[in-house]
Amino acid sequence: MAQDWTAKKVLDLMRGYQPACVLAAAAELDVFGVLSGRRMTARSLAAELGTDPRATTVVLDALAAMELLGKKADYYSVPPRVVELLTETGAGSVLAMVRHNANCLRRWVQLARVTQSGHPADREPSIRGEAADRAAFIGAMHNVSEPVAATLVDELRPISFRHLLDVGGASGTWTITFLRAVPEAVATLFDLPDAIPLAKQRVADAGLTGRVTFVPGDFYTDELPAGADLAWVSAIVHQNSREQNRALFAKVHRALTGGGRVLIRDLVMDEPRTRPAAGALFAVNMLVSTSGGGTYTFAELGEDLLVEGFTDVTLLRRDEWMSSVIRATKREPV
């Protein structure tokens, strides 16, 4: 059924950026972390954060109005549930994803210019700096993957492999989950050099260091480590053009042993390209962030896999977000 649009609905939709911007600023400034377990005035918090007292007061009052902070007299505090969600060490923290989305927001506001030019948005680092932004991206991948990983891998059973290649393994979340599902297997995690230390720490915390080899590299320019019988390509194909995906699939094909399989986790669009709705919006995120990325249909991804030497391409799992899964098998030369 078509939306019954009214002036109020249109303007409410347009004003949706306002609370997002307040939350983004608070996350980048680490307001929730500094306030955690304390009651502070705006002036004392501003002194600790190195921010302007008047501006800090305005932002804190907005956060209190949004019920992300409590306020009594001139003192602000963080509710326990917000501490869990929006501090570095909170149980179930999504702070990294909030910070990553703040970086995305700076690109989304350039959408009209991007649409006019066809080029991605100018990238502007946060006040935390480029290294912190990269760490936020890696942490964000863990934020979204960790809650779904065990369930998804369980749905793929029966699953067997001797050696997993986790392409662009980032936080190590998926490597850990697959190795827990198949205790006799080992894994190679391949990602950019600055991602490896974070992955090593998470794998060590899981007690799996002895079963994982870490290989730094860039899958756009480097060959992938050879010898795995299962490759996991998670949340990568959307950042590529179809030509880039074909090049990646060719590298995966060369890296796999005979009869090896690849599993691709990503958004998969229906043929009209308007469903799932989250996928249509995520394509905009790729438009402002990459030179050729987007969201693809099963037919498109299947064709690209077949061209690069795979067979038996199957959609194993359909999801409304990022956790659709496609499987393909390495075709051996006749």
Instruction: For tokens 């939306």, name the residue.
Output: 3
Helix, strand or coil for residue 259? strand
Tokens of 84: 């869990």
Cα of first residue to Cα of last residue in the chain, in angstroms, is 52
Question: From CA 49, how far away is CA 34, in angstroms rounded?
Answer: 8
Q: Give the mean model confidence (pLDDT) for residues 26-46.
A: 98
Q: Give the mean model confidence (pLDDT) for residues 276-287.
A: 96
Q: How confident is the model at residue 170 (pLDDT cuts 50, 70, 90)?
A: confident
List % helix, strand, coil for the chain (3-state, nearest 5). 50, 20, 35
pLDDT (0 to 100) of residue 44: 98
Helix, strand or coil for residue 76? strand
DSSP for residue 186: E
Question: From CA 105, how far away is CA 99, in angstroms rounded?
Answer: 10
Question: From CA 164, how far away is CA 185, in angstroms rounded?
Answer: 8
**What are residue 269's DSSP bridge partners?**
297
CB 285 within 8 A of CB 278: no
Question: From CA 191, how far away is CA 193, in angstroms rounded?
Answer: 6
Q: Are strands 75-77 and 40-41 parallel, antiparallel or unpaired?
A: antiparallel
Residue by residue, DSSP assigns 202-257 as: HHHHTT-GGGEEEEE--TTTSPPPS-EEEEEEES-GGGS-HHHHHHHHHHHHHHEE
Q: How many CB atoms lie within 10 A of CB 268?
A: 27
Chain segment 180-199, per-residue pLDDT in tens: 999 999 999 999 999 999 89
Q: Give the mean model confidence (pLDDT) for residues 149-176.
A: 95
Domains of the chain are 7-93 (1.10.10.10), 147-330 (3.40.50.150)
How is the beta sheet containing 163-167 ordered, strand by strand? Answer: 212-216, 186-191, 163-167, 228-234, 256-266, 324-330, 310-317
Tokens of 52: 């302007």
Question: From CA 174, how far away is CA 189, in angstroms rounded?
Answer: 10
Cis peptide before 216 (omega within 30 of 0): no
**pTM exceeds cut of 0.75:** yes
How high does pLDDT run on average in the chain? 96
Indicate whether 241 pLDDT > 60. Answer: yes
Q: Give the mean model confidence (pLDDT) for residues 261-271.
A: 97
Indicate whether 323 pLDDT > 80. Answer: yes
Chain segment 53-80, per-residue pLDDT in tens: 999 999 999 999 999 999 999 999 999 9
